[in-house]
């Protein structure tokens, strides 16, 4: 969440910044009113409590007067609690401030391609089959079985398909494990943990919940990995912190019914290796640049055609201060597939999760968080199948994955 003091200090600057994301700035006026009322209520309550403490030492004050004061304090405490809840509800809803140099825009049409790869594997096939067709012919993908078991938008991998999936995860962990501390977190988290990263309360419709418990299936390892740092204060010199986690992820993909749902383009359950960083504010630009390079490395190693897209203010999402999408080209589906979002959240998540650090001068400050997908398997696997297909219907295995599969070709 944003720093509420900024609303009281320069409300118009806050409005200008979040208006770039298309947010209703009228809520900033509501928040200012609630904050002022809350501040006034706290002052009044403190005065009444001081009065109560003084009266407790004064034997001349009647029991009835003390009782009336006690009731007044209880009433003020209740009113203050309601004001605090109102402020918190508004703060949870307000998006992060976009970087000043982030591209202006309303939607994906205003995003900016900042890098495109020309050094990729070029198949001798003239007309590429989509992965859902070729995968079925090779016996490595079985959409019919997945639908029979779980319904639409699920995947079932078989034989070399399962091995290819496992190879991507293994290579991703090996590649990133040299720099990031590997963590295997729970796949279910509390509502509070999802609040830390901004996935709740606003986006509850996109999550899967265990209805009998206060537990949710994770949409990304970003959630538990960031949650590990909640309520932590790092000593001077302990930042940056790097974490890497492999998990299965679950998303409802709300509103996506009928859109790009064939094969592995959009699924409810998928395997992913996620990267999370915590750093000091002045480290942000370098850490983001390095994180983007880390997330690109496996795509480059796989020799897939890719591009990097700088997301505009209206498309980057609530929690981001800056966000880059890495997309790979799937020649069979004839479209670009987003396989990683890489960005920083400034202090937005860390303020929610109470992640702080001690400066060299001994001052306690709110940290910054960053995250990116080290490898999101479904769409990368789809791009591999489509990119590396051969005229005889086989698929060449990318060189870096061959040690994990024990073969050069999937037939």
pLDDT of residue 8: 94
Q: Is the pLDDT of residue 256 over 80?
A: no
pLDDT tens string 83-124: 999 999 999 999 999 999 999 999 999 999 999 998 999 999
pLDDT tens string 260-272: 788 999 999 999 9
Chain centroid, CA 217 distance in Å: 14
pLDDT of residue 259: 61
Q: Is the pLDDT of residue 312 over 70?
A: yes
Residue with tokens 């592995």: 264
pLDDT tens string 117-144: 989 999 999 999 999 999 999 999 999 9
Q: Is the pLDDT of residue 257 over 60?
A: no
CA 368, CA 347: separation in Å to the nearest integer?
5
Q: Where are the alpha helices (DSSP H) in 283-345?
A: 284-301
What φ, ψ does residue 112 adopt, rounded to 5°?
-120, 125
pLDDT of residue 362: 95
CA 123, CA 390: separation in Å to the nearest integer?
7
Q: Which domains does the chain have, with CATH numbers?
A: 4-93 (1.10.287), 108-410 (3.30.930.10)
CA 210, CA 338: separation in Å to the nearest integer?
28
Mean pLDDT, residues 53-79 taken together: 91
SS3 49: helix
Radius of gyration of the chain (CA): 26
CA 162, CA 91: separation in Å to the nearest integer?
44
Is the separation of the CB atoms in 135 and 161 below 8 Å?
A: yes
| Closest to 231 in 3D by CA, of 345, 353, 351 | 353
pLDDT of residue 57: 84
The DSSP bridge pattern shows strands 395-396 and 233-234 to be unpaired
Name the band, by pLDDT with cuts 50, 70 and 90, for residue 258. low
Name the band, by pLDDT with cuts 50, 70 and 90, for residue 310. very high
Q: Is the pLDDT of residue 9 over 60?
A: yes
């Amino acid at each position: 969440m944003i720093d509420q003091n900024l609303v009281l200090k320069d409300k118009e600057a806050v409005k200008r910044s979040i208006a770039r994301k298309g947010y209703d700035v009228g809520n900033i006026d509501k928040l200012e009113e609630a904050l002022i009322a809350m501040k006034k209520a706290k002052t009044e309550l403190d005065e009444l409590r001081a009065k109560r403490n003084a009266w407790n030492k004064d034997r001349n004050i009647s029991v009835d007067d003390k009782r009336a004061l006690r009731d007044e304090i209880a009433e003020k405490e209740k009113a203050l609690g309601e004001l605090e809840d109102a402020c918190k509800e508004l703060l949870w809803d307000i998006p992060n401030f976009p970087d000043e140099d982030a591209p202006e825009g309303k939607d994906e049409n205003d995003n900016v391609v900042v890098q495109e790869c020309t050094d990729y594997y070029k198949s001798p096939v003239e007309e590429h089959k989509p992965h859902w067709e070729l995968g079925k012919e090779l016996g490595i993908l079985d959409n019919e079985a997945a639908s029979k078991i779980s319904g639409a938008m699920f995947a079932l991998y078989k034989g070399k398909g399962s091995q290819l999936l496992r190879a991507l995860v293994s290579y991703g962990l090996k590649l990133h494990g040299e720099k990031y501390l590997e963590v295997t977190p729970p796949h279910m988290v509390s509502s509070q943990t999802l609040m830390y990263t901004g996935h709740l309360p606003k986006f509850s419709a996109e999550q899967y919940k265990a209805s009998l418990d206060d537990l949710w299936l994770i949409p990304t390892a970003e959630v538990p990995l960031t949650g590990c740092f909640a309520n932590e204060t790092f000593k001077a010199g302990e930042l940056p912190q790097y974490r890497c986690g492999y998990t299965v992820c679950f998303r409802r993909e709300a509103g996506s019914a009928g859109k790009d749902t064939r094969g592995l383009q959009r699924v409810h359950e998928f395997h992913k290796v996620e990267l999370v960083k915590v750093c000091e504010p002045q480290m942000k630009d370098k850490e983001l640049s390095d994180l983007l390079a880390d997330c690109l490395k496996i795509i480059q190693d796989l020799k897939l055609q890719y591009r990097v897209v700088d997301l505009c203010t209206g498309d980057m999402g609530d929690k981001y201060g800056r966000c880059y999408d890495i997309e790979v080209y799937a020649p069979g589906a004839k479209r670009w597939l987003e396989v990683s979002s890489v960005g920083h959240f400034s202090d937005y998540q860390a303020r929610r999760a109470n992640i702080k650090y001690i400066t060299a001068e001994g001052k306690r400050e709110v940290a910054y968080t960053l995250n990116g997908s080290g490898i999101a398997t479904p769409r990368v696997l789809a791009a591999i199948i489509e990119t590396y297909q051969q005229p005889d219907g086989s698929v060449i295995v990318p060189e870096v994955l061959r040690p994990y599969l024990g073969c050069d070709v999937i037939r």
